[in-house]
Amino acid sequence: MKLPSARGEISAAVVSVLGRSPGEGRPALPDESAVAACDPYGDDLQLALYVCYELHYRGFHGVDDAWEWDPDLLRLRAALERRFLEALRADVPAPAGADEALSGLLTEPVDGAGVSHHLRDQGQLWQAREYAAQRSLYHLKEADPQLWVIPRLTGRAKAGMAAVEYDEFGAGRAERVHSKLFADLMEDLGLDSTYGRYLDAGSRQMLAVVNLMSLFGLHRARRGALVGHFAWVEITSSPGSRRLAQALERLGAGPAAVHFYAEHVEADAVHEQLVRHEVVEGLLREEPELDADVAFGVAATDWLEDRLADHLLDAWKADRPSVRVAL
């Protein structure tokens, strides 16, 4: 994965520093005041945060692994996280608790105005390709951010989470790992399935969705929010996946493209039950004080996904690209 093009002062500083050896002299990274002046959902902050997080995944070509735990870079990352999290706390409507947050996901809106509805009913192939390119920023690392929470759980929650993750990673079969299935989908759509290939094309809304998973996953203190986020993913996945499979079949996208979403229709219907009744209930039985954190994880994920959907649909209805650079 190559370092991306910068999108502002802060991301430019991060990209520039990572191009050096950790032992070399380097310019000072932006301070807290520079971060405080940044749009918390803007391209600059979200890209800088994404690049910092990627050091904990697969890293970047030519970037020394020692940067992962560089104190100055970690201080900047912490400031970026605070800015992002404080904005979410202020902007996301807070449910009364986990039960209310989860019950709101069990009934789909009657207007049928989401991205999967659009792609199924009237979407064009170029829009499906853009959707896959944007989503590749997550799906090529699918289930990785959530895996970090397993050591922080106990009992039913740990066992339930491990069972779901085992399926996500192909139940021991490399060709069935969900990130591999998504790479196959991309190739069916004529896209480059190289990990991180479309980072420069990804919108700030997509970066924020992926950054939220990393933020929750990397911090033990956010384990409740990560469980809430994961519950959102599994509860909402099955009906949306059915529509996306129908969309790709209608568009003639190829069997591997259809298979990725068809696989999620059945798998995530099972996962929904495991997450709700084993992971969430198990966690809150052990640590009831995390109820508000679980609810926040659900609500923040929903809010950021809605922002992404609005961005995609606004662009497509105006017949313009949703990506920052041409695919």
Surface-to-core class of residue 61, CB atoms within 10 Å of its CB (0-12 exposed, 13-18 middle, 19+ buried): exposed
Contact 280, 227 (CB under 8 A): yes
DSSP labels for 248-309?
HHHTT--HHHHHHHHHHHHHHHHHHHHIIIIIIHHHHHH-GGGHHHHHHHHHHHHHHHHHHH
Q: Assess whether pLDDT exceeds 80 at residue 158.
A: yes
CA distances from 316 to 11, 49, 130, 213, 324 (A): 28, 27, 10, 26, 13
119: how many CB neighbours lie within 10 A of its CB?
24
Distance, CA of 313 to CA of 310 (rounded, Å): 5
Would the pLDDT of 229 be above 80? yes
Q: State the average pLDDT over residues 73-78.
A: 97
Q: Which two tokens stand for residue 7?
A: 């999108």
Instruction: Give the model's pLDDT for residue 108.
Output: 73
Q: pLDDT-derived band of residue 21, with 50, 70 and 90 as boundaries?
A: confident
User: Does residue 85 carry a pLDDT above 80?
Assistant: yes
Please tell me the predicted confidence (pLDDT) of residue 167.
93
DSSP character at residue 141: T
Q: Summarize pLDDT for 26-57 with one digit per residue, the tens.
A: 888 999 999 999 999 999 999 999 999 999 99
Q: What is the pLDDT of residues 262-308, one digit of tens each?
A: 988 877 778 888 999 999 999 999 999 999 999 999 999 999 999 99
Q: Which two tokens stand for residue 190?
A: 């004529």
Q: Are 132 and 186 contacting, i.e. CB atoms less than 8 angstroms apart?
A: yes
CATH architecture of 98-317: Up-down Bundle (1.20)
The pLDDT assigned to 109 comes to: 67
pLDDT band at 322 (very low <50, low <70, confident <90, very high): very high
Residue among 13, 2, 16, 20 nearest 66 (CA): 20
Q: Where in the chain is the domain with CATH 1.20.910.10?
A: 98-317
Q: What is the structure's pLDDT at 94?
A: 87
Tell me: the pLDDT tens digits for 170-201? Answer: 999 999 999 999 999 999 999 999 999 999 99
Q: Say if CB 236 and CB 202 are below 8 A apart.
A: no
pLDDT exceeds 80 at position 320: yes
Q: Does pLDDT of 110 surpass 70? A: no
What pLDDT score was predicted for residue 267?
75
Reading the block at residue 226, the tokens are 């990560």
What's this model's pTM, rounded to 2 decimal places? Answer: 0.96
